[in-house]
Chain A
């Protein structure tokens, strides 16, 4: 069975500082990997996804993530955090084909940004 671990429940950074959110997954085949962001009381918005190809993927809002197969990781990074980035971030793993949309999510990382 597939699983996702986000080791950090809560991270606090200062505005302008760099950010890295960790994600480790367990999956038997080549995974489809996603990062979503959720503002309080809202639905989820896709930041970026990895299906194949270049292991460094660029997303919206200046985020990027790197797929490292040897470490089973898909960490999310941003070089300079803005106050509006405060939200909860979810890493997810899934399969392709007929299993599109059937994702396993991590428990989320809450990001607080200090001015």
Chain B
């Protein structure tokens, strides 16, 4: 069966520090992958999606970037974190129109 893993689960970082969140999918090949962010008290917002290795589409302008170095790996990064980057980051993959989410990574920027 397909599974999706995210790490780290929790992260506390100072303003201006770099960020790397990793997402790995197992049990499928060439998945469409997505990064969503959930800010406190708000719904989810699509940040990036990828339909294949090296193919990244950005949905909103921001301080973050994404990369897909391998078929089943999706990375969310920042060179310098802002306070507004705090939130719950969810990776997801799509099969037949249904999104399957990972357990999320909670980022607190201080």
Q: Which residues of A contact B (CB under 8 A)?
A: 4, 32, 34, 41-46, 49, 51, 90, 92, 94, 96, 100-108
Q: Is B52's CB within 8 Å of the partner chain A?
A: no
Are B101 and A101 in contact, CB atoms less than 8 angstroms apart? no
Are A43 and B43 in contact, CB atoms less than 8 angstroms apart? no
Given contacts A46-B98, A101-B32, 7 further A-B contacts (CB under 8 A): A34-B98, A43-B102, A49-B98, A101-B97, A105-B44, A105-B45, A107-B43
Number of interface residues of B (CB under 8 A): 24
Per the bound structure, the CA–CA distance linking A42 and B101 in Å amounts to 9
Are A90 and B43 in contact, CB atoms less than 8 angstroms apart? yes
Q: Which residues of B contact A (CB under 8 A)?
A: 32, 34, 41-46, 49, 59, 90, 92-94, 96-104, 106
Q: What residues on B are CB-neighbors of A101 within 8 Å?
A: 32, 34, 49, 92-94, 97, 99
Are A96 and B97 in contact, CB atoms less than 8 angstroms apart? yes
Are B98 and A106 in contact, CB atoms less than 8 angstroms apart? no
Q: Known interface pairs A41-B104, A42-B103. Does A102 touch B46 (Cβ–Cβ under 8 Å)?
A: yes
Per the bound structure, the CA–CA distance linking A4 and B43 in Å amounts to 10
Are A44 and B32 in contact, CB atoms less than 8 angstroms apart? no
Contact of A41 among B42, B43, B102, B106 (CB under 8 A): B106
Q: Known interface pairs A49-B97, A100-B94. Does A90 touch B103 (Cβ–Cβ under 8 Å)?
A: no
